[in-house]
Amino acid sequence: MQRYYVLLEDTRIPYKIQPSSLPRNTSFEDFPPVQVLDMTVPIHGEFSDWLSVPTTLLSNAMKRILAKYNVQARFKRVYLIDRKDNQSALYWMPYAPAMDVLSPRAEFDLQGQYIKRLVLDREKVQGQHFFTIQGIREPYFIISIEAAESLLRRNLSGFRLQSVELA
């Protein structure tokens, strides 16, 4: 039986590096193929494999794994640089296709803008390994159980998995 998970920010990491000059919700199409951005590195800062604030960025190791699950995947290179301490890191902005996969059983708030209960249509997601959800405000990054297990086996950091209901 196919299972899916939402990749979420791991809030247990207190000193995660952060890009400091990336605008929120930058679309993949508007982003240049290669970008150099400043980053903030706190004392004892951790270079985690998943950054989702202000936009999704993947480490090189995480990108290599996810690319194997979708040969059509596209990524844009992002160099994060801390000029003060002379540190740099390579990250990737992923293009996860937005798919119409919500089940009619998904529940929204009273204004119909935010999801209260995320339910995906089993037939619409069949065979997909990572994607986002079309038509909602939340930037949910969904991955299959196969992709999730690959990430966990390699001890990647910065994310947690939340199971998604299928109908």
CA-wise closest residue to 140 among 112, 110, 165: 165
Which tokens go with 96?
Answer: 């996860």
Q: How far is CA 116 from the centre of its chain?
A: 20
pLDDT by residue for the chain (167 residues), tens digit each? Answer: 689 999 999 988 888 887 877 766 677 888 899 999 888 888 877 889 999 877 889 999 999 999 999 888 899 999 999 888 888 899 999 998 889 999 999 998 877 778 889 999 999 998 889 999 988 888 899 999 999 999 999 999 999 999 999 99
What is the pLDDT, as a whole number, of residue 137? 81
Number of domains composing the chain: 1
What is the pLDDT, as a whole number, of residue 23? 66
Backbone angles phi and psi of 128, in degrees to 5: -85, 145
8 Å CB contact between 78 and 57: yes
What is the pLDDT, as a whole number, of residue 93? 93
Domain enclosing residue 82, as ranges: 4-166
Which tokens go with 1?
Answer: 């039986």
pTM score above 0.85: yes
Q: Please state, in angstroms and rounded to a whole number, the distance separating the CA atoms of residues 4 and 148.
A: 8
